[in-house]
Amino acid sequence: MRVLRAYMDEVFNQQTLQGQRPLSDVLQVCQSANPRDFSQLIASLPEQDTPTIFGLPTNIDRSVQRFNSSQVLAQLK
Domain ranges of the chain: 2-76
Q: Does residue 35 surpass a pLDDT of 70?
A: yes
Is 0.85 surpassed by the pTM of this model? no
Q: Where are the alpha helices (DSSP H) in 12-59?
A: 14-17, 35-43
Radius of gyration of the chain (CA): 17
| Pick from 49, 64, 71, 38: nearest CA to 28 | 38
Percent of the chain with pLDDT over 70: 94
Higher pLDDT, 8 or 17: 8
Q: Which pLDDT band holds residue 24 (cuts at 50, 70, 90)?
A: low
Q: Does residue 71 surpass a pLDDT of 80?
A: yes
Q: Does residue 25 surpass a pLDDT of 70?
A: no
